[in-house]
Amino acid sequence: MTYVVEPVQDLTKLNIESLISESEEEGYRFLTRLAEDYKDGINTFTEPGEALYCVKDKQGEVVAIGGVNRFPVPGGDPETGRLQRFYVEADERRNGAGSLLLKEIVEHARNHFHELTVKTESSKADAFYRHNGFEFDDSTSETTHRMEFNH
């Protein structure tokens, strides 16, 4: 598959309705929260170091989305990033879209944070994150995986 990763400048101008519908059918509400929080100005991925990216297929349709937010854990490193709202359309999974998106987010985060964390309850996501360089670490309730950057 041919994919293009792009930074999202304005989520309200991006058609992610099919991703939202599909994610809700799978029992996930985090893309609904992404759209609502963005529209309400609660989370627009504009704090220092934050970014939101999407992956488009050759037809220009959004097939994956995800970003990084600042996420200082109480008592932890204040320069911690958090992988947020990461979702890949079901038909595009295992075709490289998710890995491409994650690589872009990790490279961005590496320049702004000491570590990148994520929380998941999915065994498939666990395998995906481990395969892409994250270490399993559930020592805090907010995190299941982390990637430390050497600065």
Which alpha helices (DSSP H) does the chain contain, by range? 17-25, 30-40, 97-110, 123-131
Reply yes or no on whether the pLDDT at 72 is more than 70: no
Domain parsing of the chain, residue ranges: 4-148
pLDDT score recorded for residue 150: 81
pLDDT score recorded for residue 12: 95
Give percent above pLDDT 90 in the chain: 79
pLDDT digits (tens, 9 = 90+) for 107-133: 999 999 999 999 988 888 899 999 999
Class of domain 4-148: alpha beta
CB atoms within 10 A of CB 106: 18
